[in-house]
Structure 1
Amino acid sequence: MEMSAQHANAPYYFVPGPSRWPAAAGMSLLTLMLGASAWVNDASWGSYLTWAGLLGFLFVLYKWFGDAIGESESGMYNKRIDASYRWSMSWFIFSEIMFFGAFFGALFYARSISMPWLGDLDHKILWPDFAAHWGNVGPAGTVEAFTTMGPFWIPTINTALLLTSGVTLTLSHHALRENQRGKTAFWLAATVLLGAVFMGFQVYEYMHAYSDLNLKLTSGVYGSTFFLLTGFHGFHVTLGAIMLSVVLYRVMKGHFTADNHFAFEGAAWYWHFVDVVWLGLYVVVYWL
């Protein structure tokens, strides 16, 4: 976070005044959940309430983060606030690691424990036609036939895109530390663009899976784990691209200094985390 010279070593911990945004966020999320629940139960008004809650929540985020940015730019934050933000972002990323760890664990259990167990000699009596290989169609063909997704070529291209985006983001960070704003904005914009291209390829991959491979979310445990892992990762790429886009806007507005720019660093941590998760997905989902 950016700190003016007179506040950088202030002996206090900044505590913001009363805010309406926490209550507004709670109300918008409650509206969103009620609308979504009604929508999935075919209520005619559910979709309208869902969109109203979503738009309300986005508005709250815009205003709430705007207040935090204003406090930072006005010099209200000091090193204690900076440390607080760093610890908060670190724990947030740790929670994301646990989130993806649960899905990777589910994939491992289904593939390496349940599959051999269901295909052993004892279970041949129950399901004599069951084939204990990954991507099977279930006992007695309970799942429609489908083709598994291989690593070529879209997943491999996406891997190259994300690895390249990690390089461009690092170049942008080094440029910011050298106070070269033009290079910072250029490489940061390149990172956002690479993330957008990644998502475009993933949309195309999903269309190919549904139309050509008959691979769907309902395609047994393979389909559910494939779309959950890749889909949630895609959501995180989208979120990371939005974060970097906000940072890019702030760079162009003249925010940040060479020494104090944690908003940039926090978004970069998140983006590199997304890169690492994808490498794991690329190996265990597409290759193994």
Structure 2
Amino acid sequence: MSGGSYYVPATSKWPILGSLALGTMLVGFGMILVHGLNGLMMAAGFVALLTVMGLWFRDVIKESRSGLYDAQMDRSFRQGMAWFIFSEVMFFGAFFGALFYVRTFALPWLDGEGAKGVAALLWPDFTASWPLLDPPGDVSGAREVLSPWQLPLANTLLLVGSSITLTVAHEGLKEGLRQTTRNWLLVTVLMGFTFIALQGVEYYEAYHHYGLTLEAGIYGSTFFLLTGFHGAHVIVGATILTVMLLRILRGHFAAQDHFGFEAACWYWHFVDVVWVGLFLFVYVF
């Protein structure tokens, strides 16, 4: 690899195998929704997808550790990660957009406001409010809403704090302080999985004590779509950081050459920012 060269990875089977695994998982999920079948096919696709991702990342790590990547490849990785995070911004933007549309337009229309206020003829006693605890028609709503100042606040403090601890770990790596990196990264990982545990407790409380479920009208569906997908991203991010911790323990990364670690940091900070938006617009306002 000389100056100005560009490393082209060898032909790989992982993209097509990953596509097949993902397709199997989604078809299995669709069969559960449409036909009520068991989740064996979806589970098999999920396991296959995790296996492909693990083996694919293993190959990338080996190539990086072998010195095959140059500055051009580093730029390619950075651009790829930036576009990936942008796609995630658009993903959550769609769900936030649905939430804002319902609150800003749909509910006032149902209450008789504006040009589309004729919808009020269907439910003349309907009063627009958010959260919507008593939806019109046969839709059951939540009995109560979760207080933002208990578990949601604790989870907010955990995620914001985890961004701080991760930044300390990253700065330690850039300074060559590997023990500092290891310790603070371990704290970050523990905070991430603690967040997931607390969210599990919150979901249990919502379902069993507040009547807040996916079937609890538009409030229930938007609540679980936003917080559920975010929770899935936290699981992914905490898993990635766990891999980064294992790589640190094995002596991987250098002070000036550690984009794998940096990309994990980008992803985790993005997840934290999304949660702050969720805390404000789903729980508080």
TM-superposed deviation, 1:145: 4.7
Q: 1:117 aligns with which of 97, 109, 112?
A: 109
CA distance in 1, matches of 2:142, 2:183: 47
Stretch deviating more after TM superposition (136-145 or 110-119):
136-145
**Counterparts of 1:237-276 in structure 2 under 5 Å?**
237-276=234-273
Q: 1:135 aligns with which of 131, 135, 157?
A: 131
Q: Secondary structure at the match of 2:39?
A: helix
- TM-score, normalised by the number of residues in structure 1: 0.92
TM-superposed deviation, 1:135: 2.5
Deviations 1:180-208 (A, max 9, x none): 11110110010010001111111100000
Q: Does the alignment pair 1:68 with 2:80?
A: no
Q: Secondary structure at the match of 1:146?
A: coil
Deviations 1:205-228 (A, max 9, x none): 000000110000111111111111
Matched-pair contact (CA < 8 Å) for 1:146–1:219: no
Closer, same or farther: CA 252–133 of 1 in aligned 2, 3 Å: same
Q: Which residue of structure 2 aligns with residue 59 of structure 1?
A: 51
Q: How many residues align?
A: 279
Q: Does the alignment pair 1:167 with 2:159?
A: no
Deviations 1:145-204 (A, max 9, x none): 521222120001111101110110000001101111111011001001000111111110
CA distance in 2, matches of 1:210, 1:21: 40
- Higher RCO (CA 8 Å, separation ≥ 6 residues): 1
**Counterparts of 1:41-52 in structure 2 under 5 Å?**
41-43=35-37, 46-52=38-44
Matched-pair contact (CA < 8 Å) for 1:217–1:223: yes
Closer, same or farther: CA 33–123 of 1 in aligned 2, 3 Å: closer
CA distance in 1, matches of 2:164, 2:96: 26
CA distance in 1, matches of 2:56, 2:119: 57
Q: Secondary structure at the match of 2:252?
A: coil
Q: Secondary structure at the match of 2:251?
A: coil
Q: Does the alignment pair 1:150 with 2:111?
A: no
TM-superposed deviation, 1:123: 4.4
CA distance in 1, matches of 2:251, 2:179: 11
Q: 1:95 aligns with which of 87, 91, 97?
A: 87
Question: Which letter maps to 1:98?
Answer: M
CA distance in 2, matches of 1:220, 1:252: 48
Matched-pair contact (CA < 8 Å) for 2:14–2:52: yes
Deviations 1:30-71 (A, max 9, x none): 33233333334134xx53322222211111111111000000
* Structure 1 runs, 4 residues or longer, greater than 6 Å off: none
Identity rate, percent? 47
CA RMSD of aligned residues (A): 1.5
CA distance in 2, matches of 1:35, 1:85: 32
Matched-pair contact (CA < 8 Å) for 1:31–1:50: yes
Question: Which letter maps to 1:32?
Answer: M
